[in-house]
Amino acid sequence: MKQLEVVAAILTYNGNILCMQRGKGKYPYVSFKYEFPGGKIEPGESRHAALERELREEMNIHTTIKESDLYMTVHHQYPDFAITMHAFYCPLSSPEFIRKEHIASCWLPPQELPSLDWAAADQPIMEKLVFESKPD
pLDDT of 135: 57
> What domain range includes position 60?
2-133
Q: How many domains does the chain have?
A: 1
Can you give the CATH number for the domain in which 23 is found?
Answer: 3.90.79.10
What is the rounded distance in angstroms from the CA atom of residue 119 to the CA atom of residue 95?
23
| pLDDT tens for each residue of 75-130 | 999 999 999 999 999 999 999 999 999 999 999 999 999 999 999 999 999 999 99
* pTM (two decimals): 0.94
Rg over CA atoms, the chain: 14
pLDDT of 136: 45
Burial of 7 from C-beta contacts in 10 A (0-12 / 13-18 / 19+): buried
